[in-house]
Amino acid sequence: MTAPAPEHTADTAPAPARAPHRRRRSAAGAGGPVLTALTWLIGLLFVSPVLWLVLTAFKEENQAATDPPTLFFQPTLDRFAAVLGADFLPYLGNSAVATLASTLLVLLLGLPAAYALSVAPVKRTQDVLFFFISTKMLPVVAVVVPIYVAAAHLSMLDNVWTLVVLYTAMNLPIAVWMLRSFFLEVPKALVEAARMEGAGLPRVLWSVMVPIMAPGIAATALICMIFAWNEFFFAVNLTAARAATVPVFLTGFITSEGLFVAQLSAAVVMASLPIVVIGWTAQRQLVRGLSMGAVK
| Band (113; pLDDT cuts 50, 70, 90) | confident
**Burial (CB count <10 Å: 0-12, 13-18, 19+), residue 256:** exposed
155 dihedral zone (left: phi>0; alpha: psi -120 to 50; beta): left
Measured distance CA(29)–CA(36) in Å, rounded: 11
Which residues share a beta bridge with 259?
Answer: 254
Q: CA nearest 289: which of 173, 203, 191, 210?
A: 210
Whether the predicted pLDDT of 191 surpasses 90: no
Whether the predicted pLDDT of 28 surpasses 80: no
| Band (256; pLDDT cuts 50, 70, 90) | low
Q: Can you tell me the mean pLDDT for 58-71?
A: 83
Whether the predicted pLDDT of 211 surpasses 70: yes
| Band (295; pLDDT cuts 50, 70, 90) | very low
Say if CB 80 and CB 262 are below 8 A apart. Answer: no
For domain 80-294, which architecture applies?
Orthogonal Bundle (1.10)
| pLDDT tens per residue across span 124-159 | 777 777 877 887 888 888 889 999 999 999 999 999
Say if CB 192 and CB 120 are below 8 A apart. Answer: no
Which residues share a beta bridge with 255?
Answer: 258
| Band (99; pLDDT cuts 50, 70, 90) | very high
Say if CB 224 and CB 169 are below 8 A apart. Answer: no
Phi, psi of 188 (to 5 degrees): -65, -25
Whether the predicted pLDDT of 293 surpasses 70: no
Measured distance CA(246)–CA(229) in Å, rounded: 8
Q: Which pLDDT value is given to residue 27?
A: 47
- Which residue ranges make up each domain of the chain? 80-294
User: For residue 239, what are the contacts with CB-CB under 8 A and spacing of at least 6?
Assistant: 94, 157, 158, 159, 160, 163, 245, 248
Say if CB 61 and CB 260 are below 8 A apart. Answer: yes
- Could you tell me how many residues make up the chain? 296
Q: Which pLDDT value is given to residue 233?
A: 92
Q: What is the mean pLDDT of the chain?
A: 81
Provide the whole-model pTM: 0.78
Other CB atoms within 10 Å distance of the CB of residue 237 = 16
CA 84 and chain centroid, separation: 27
Q: CA nearest 170: which of 212, 225, 88, 92?
A: 225
Measured distance CA(178)–CA(108) in Å, rounded: 14
Whether the predicted pLDDT of 108 surpasses 50: yes
Measured distance CA(162)–CA(98) in Å, rounded: 9
Q: In sequence order, which ranges of 200-256 are alpha helices (DSSP H)?
A: 201-203, 210-212, 214-230, 233-238, 246-250
| Band (296; pLDDT cuts 50, 70, 90) | very low
Q: Which pLDDT value is given to residue 241?
A: 82
More confident residue, 162 or 181: 162
